[in-house]
Structure 1
Amino acid sequence: MRFFETANIDFMGKKKVYFFVSLFLILCSIGALIAHKGPVLGIDFRGGTFLQVGFKQIPPLEQVRGALSKDNWEGFTLQTQPSNNSIIIRVKQGESSKEDIAGRVLETLKGEFGDAVNPVPERIEFVGPVIGRKLITDTLKAIFGSLIVIVIFIAFRFKKWIWGFAGVVALAHDVFATIGFLTLLNVEITLVVIAALLTLAGYSINDTIVIFDRVRENIRSARKETPKQIINRSLNETLARTVNTSLTTILAATSLLVFGGEVIHDFALALAFGILIGTYSSIAVAVSLVHLFQYKNK
């Protein structure tokens, strides 16, 4: 990584390239969302049947998932409850009643695991679309509320509203591009994915603030350099830290993606792609907006 420690890249000379790359990402995301008629929502948001099935001894989740997949079940999630030897199965609600769905799931599991499955489900619940819509509303409120707080915090810390605006635009850019990417791959948006998006948001804004801090410090101490030269120097000075931190996190997320199994797959995928885009936006988008609006490209 010695190259990054001694780098002297003219980042601000490539602003048009950054904006075209970002425009491409946003248009691809919009295209994916239009093609799929919005993000692919999971059971948490669309509603479905909640079924808790007891076992004498909990089998591996992959074995349960394989049994349900073989019987043409789609759009389900699994969660173990080791304290009482049971597995929670969430199934998308079709035209069947929750009792019919529970009966068919139990039949499938008994065919695979025999007497190891308790004959009567411990719990059956239906989560309707009304609750799903409320969850979507609450999630959006939380996201927009956090964006407003971030704008106020950064604007207060850096004494200029444009810094807060640039940070939030870069953050929205990262989250929207990641949602578009997941939609393109037909990955469902579940609470696990929302957790990954919130993790990405925190990571991305922290990265942006670190770079903003260096720019502010260099502006205070510089006398003869232009704003463009100061911003370029600041980005080059923080480049090694930015790349090393991002690579470390992406490698960890990739390990989860490859070895973590189905349960953590979507979380790791969203996090790995999101951090990649977040690193790009912290370097290219956020600071470019500050240079464009506050310093008028000087």
Structure 2
Amino acid sequence: MAAGFAQAGNQLYTGERSYPFIQRSNRWFLIAAVIILISVAIPLLRGGFNLGIEFTGGSEFTVSQTENTDVSIGEQAVADVSGQTATVTNIAPGTVRVQTEQLDEQQTLEVGAALQEGYGVAADQVSSTYIGPVWGAHVSQQMMIGLVIFLVLVTLYMAFYFRTWKMSLAAIAGLGFVVVTTVGIYAATNFEVTPSAIIGFLTILSYALYDTMVVFDKIRENLEPLHEQKDQTFTERVNLAINQTLVRSVNTSVVGILPVASILFIGSLLLGAGTLQDIALALFVGIIVGTLATIFVQAPLYARMRRNDADILSHTEEVLALREERMIEAGIASVTYSGTPLDEEGRPVAFPPLPEPEPEEEIEDEEEWDIVIEGGPADGAPAADGHSTESR
């Protein structure tokens, strides 16, 4: 299996095998637009996000050193006292966190006593705190400031590194797609949005940017000799760059997903470490979406933004015209979606060479030919050497 995967990677790198990422960009853009609309519609239809207590404010109780970590006990204790629906989470072995809406002093004491009785712990093993919504608003404000600063720095860096603002714009558009999609999945799964989740959002932006830089750097490398060669068009060379980095992108994503999946599924679901699921879900979704965004959104968008440049159009017309001549002379029947010519039997012919000029016809016999010199003897008259000057 590993050998087959390595062989497939070599075929993608050399161009022997090619997937039409750029040639089918309209399809990818349509799918991306639908995903964005769904991601925006979900929180609107659900009435917003499931914000954590850090953003909404409320009361929080922590029960420690308990042998019974059943969440239903905490939910029932809050419901009996205040009639509210509590959010109960196992945050560590033997530790339970209970979050509710704001309670008054009397209700706080009664809920604490109910939790002490329900979990069978002493009074000093139940602690309570109150978190005001002002703190959550401050966190949201700082998050937005950090996001804006991050995007500005990324834009400037990519414009300086690649020497083109179009790559920066395509990269930022892809990052926006990653964030919107991840947020939409958070809303669809009703996962609680906490400061840990916000940290996860910012982390996936960095990861998605790394994959984008790898692919864009290969695109730049392939485009440097664009006008010096006449075998491939601009679109084909960009598509080749994506195929050449495809295996690396997949491998990097798998390596990143495996530990995150362990945290999400083993740590939070099996071991009950509920505090890890916020950041783990953001990372898990973001790594996958970030890789797909580079391949199906950012690189095709950059190609779309540049393909109508004057120099690109001129080069493309020249390549296609030369290719048509070579196909006619070499007997090529058709061209695949990736621009690979096919012979009459449908077999791929990568870049057919220009046909060799036919050698000049040689005189087979050694029959002697005489040259008639203007002003010489009349036709048929004997020449000085005794030969006839009759033309043959």
Task: Give CA-to-partner distance per residue, 1:140-183, whole Å, 9 cap, x none.
Answer: 11112211111111111111111111111101100110100110
| Distance of aligned partners of 1:90 and 1:4 in 2 relative to their CA distance in 1, 3 Å threshold | farther
Deviations 1:243-283 (A, max 9, x none): 11112222332222221123322322222222111111011
Q: Hey, what's the Cα distance between the residues in 1 that align with 2:109 and 2:25?
A: 56
For residue 130 of structure 2, give the secondary structure of its aligned residue in structure 1.
Answer: strand
Distance 1:103 1:78, change over 3 A: farther
- Between the aligned partners of 2:139 and 2:289, the Cα distance in structure 1 is 27
How much identity, in percent, do the aligned residues show?
25
Secondary structure of the residue aligned to 1:11 is coil
Give the Å deviation of 1:216. Answer: 0.8
**Residue 67 of structure 1 pairs with residue 77 of structure 2:** no
Contact 1:48 1:126 in 2 (8 A): yes
Aligned match of 2:99 in 47, 69, 91? 91
Kept in 2: contact 1:257–1:265 (CA 8 A): yes
Indicate yes or no: 2:281 matched with 1:269. yes
In 2, distance between residues paired with 1:280 and 1:5? 21
Equivalent position SS for 2:123: coil
In structure 2, give the amino acid aligned to 1:39: F
State TM-score, norm by structure 2: 0.67
Letter in 2 for 1:63: T
Between the aligned partners of 2:242 and 2:192, the Cα distance in structure 1 is 36
Equivalent residue for 1:118? Answer: 123
Query: Which among 160, 164, 189 is matched to residue 156 of structure 1?
Result: 160
Equivalent of residue 302 in structure 2, options 270, 287, 290? 290
**By how many angstroms is 1:111 displaced?**
2.1
Post-superposition CA distance 1:90-137 (Å, at most 9, x none)? 62324x315523531442233222xx3235855x43222222222211
How do residues 110-189 of structure 1 correspond to structure 2 at under 5 angstroms?
110-113=117-120, 116-119=121-124, 121=126, 124-189=128-193
Equivalent residue number for residue 216 of structure 1: 220
TM-score for the superposition, normalised by structure 1: 0.86
Distance in 1 between the 2:11 and 2:169 partners? 31
Q: Structure 2: which 5+ runs fail to align?
A: 13-17, 80-84, 269-273, 313-392
**Aligned equivalents of 2:26, 2:125: Cα separation in 1:** 63
Change (3 A) 1:5 1:38: farther
2:55 corresponds in structure 1 to 45
For the pair 1:207 / 2:211, whether they are aligned, the reply is yes
Higher relative contact order (CA 8 A, sep 6+): 1
- Give 1:213 shift: 0.7
Q: How many residues align?
A: 286
Greater displacement, 63-72 / 146-155: 63-72
Determine which structure has the larger helix proportion and give its number.
1
Contact 2:49 2:187 in 1 (8 A): yes
Deviation at 1:40, TM superposition (A): 2.2
Measure the CA separation in 2 of the matches of 1:205 and 1:15: 20
Contact 2:75 2:88 survives alignment (8 Å): no
Partners of 1:87 and 1:256 in 2: CA distance: 18
Provide structure 1 residue ranges, at least 5 long, that are not aligned to the other structure.
Answer: none
| Equivalent residue number for residue 250 of structure 2 | 243
Q: Tell me if structure 1 keeps the 8 A contact 2:182–2:285.
A: yes
Q: Deviations over 1:197-254 (max 9, x none)?
A: 1221111011001101111111113432322111111111101100111122223322
Q: Secondary structure at the match of 1:6?
A: helix
Do the aligned residues in 1 keep the contact of 2:38 with 2:184 (CA within 8 Å)?
Answer: yes
Aligned-residue CA RMSD in angstroms? Answer: 2.5
Change (3 A) 1:134 1:180: same
